[in-house]
Amino acid sequence: MATMNMIQALNSGMDTMLTRDPNVLVFGEDVGYFGGVFRATDGLQKKHGMTRCFDTPIGEGGIVAVAIGMGAYGLRPVVEIQFADYIYPAFDQIVSEAARLRYRSAGDFFAPMTVRTPYGGGIFGGQTHSQSPEALFTHVAGLKTVIPATPYDAKGLLISAIEDDDPVIFLEPKRIYNGPFDGHHDRPVSPWSKYPASDVPDGYYTVPLGKAAIHRQGADVTVLAYGTMLHVALAAAQDSGIDAEVIDLRTLVPLDLETVVQSVEKTGRCVIVHEATRTSGFGAELAALVQENCFFHLEAPIERVAGWDTPYPHAFEWQYFPGPARVAEAMRRAMGA
């Protein structure tokens, strides 16, 4: 067991799998010699060699295309897209090839690949370094979409993703790489070392895909969140004094609907929080599922707190970012206050 931030936990997960499985490869832009722009692959090339961890040209479509071919021939590639904002050139390969390979080959081939990419805002990255495109991937049959919120989950979920026989989009909330961020941008950020979730086993372990985690038990309202928004939701519950049950979805596809339904049936209220733009965001799917499964238990309309339907504005970072004040207000509306 060691105390790790999320970057170190992800590095440990890749290191563990490179050591454990000779078919695992890590590649992408600047991930080899340099160790990645966020240092998530630091030291992996030196330890495992240039054929196991290597740099690629700046061409996201080619990176993913090569990974698909490798997967079809039995390897387990882990590729990094430097920022989620630059995953779009690879979107056709992900959607038309990786996600469809098992179906179109009648099970003869599949794409056991993991696409890692930092996503989300809160770092003044502006419109081209702050996007949250998770809903685009949840819409595609054949893909799994995973978003960790703690170092412990980051490593365990990444190992599960690498071992999975289907393509996994692994979105890493970069705002919490070095410490949990509660949305209070005017306060000092606490390091992960102060939180139990930074205690990460050194070796192999997994966190199963498709299983949510309840981070705060409560009776008044259910708050559904993932990634950075988990910590914002926890802060909102504390600031507001509302007895909220806060759930970290961890994986959007597959979704742990059972945990969601049990919670909403208990509380009778639901607030959904995500940083992505509101229209057609994954929160819309969550709201539909909660309405379909919990209609007779709901005591108030379902609330959504999300980013604006605009590009991520550099000058209005903290107005766009769904902070604890906005989340707390939604919780109060759900409570009829």
pTM: 0.97
Helix (H) or strand (E) holding 289: helix 282-294
Beta-carbon count within 10 A of 195 CB: 17
- Of 36-40, 118-122, 187-191, 236-240, the range with the lowest mean pLDDT is 187-191
For 132, residues 6+ apart whose C-beta sits below 8 A from its C-beta are 84, 119, 120, 121, 171, 274, 275, 276, 277, 307
When pLDDT is cut at 50, 70 and 90, the band that residue 151 belongs to is very high
Backbone angles phi, psi at 214, to 5 degrees: -90, 110
Candidates 337, 276, 261, 334; CA nearest to 309 is 276
Candidates 2, 8, 5, 10; CA nearest to 171 is 10
| pLDDT value at residue 337 | 64
| pLDDT value at residue 27 | 98
Residues 63 and 69 sit within 8 Å (Cβ to Cβ): no
Backbone angles phi, psi at 277, to 5 degrees: -55, 150
Question: Over 80: is that where the pLDDT of 111 sits?
Answer: yes
Buried b (16+ CB within 10 A) or exposed e, 258-286: ebbbbbbebbbbbbbbbbbbeeebbbbbb
When pLDDT is cut at 50, 70 and 90, the band that residue 307 belongs to is very high
Q: pLDDT tens, 117-128?
A: 999 999 999 999
| pLDDT value at residue 97 | 97
Alpha helix stretches (DSSP H) within 116-208: 134-138, 151-163
Q: pLDDT tens, 229-241?
A: 999 999 999 999 9
Active site residues: 129
**Mean pLDDT across the chain:** 97
Question: Over 70: is that where the pLDDT of 50 sits?
Answer: yes
Question: Over 70: is that where the pLDDT of 102 sits?
Answer: yes
Question: Over 90: is that where the pLDDT of 189 sits?
Answer: no
> What is the mean predicted confidence (pLDDT) over 8-35?
98
When pLDDT is cut at 50, 70 and 90, the band that residue 282 belongs to is very high
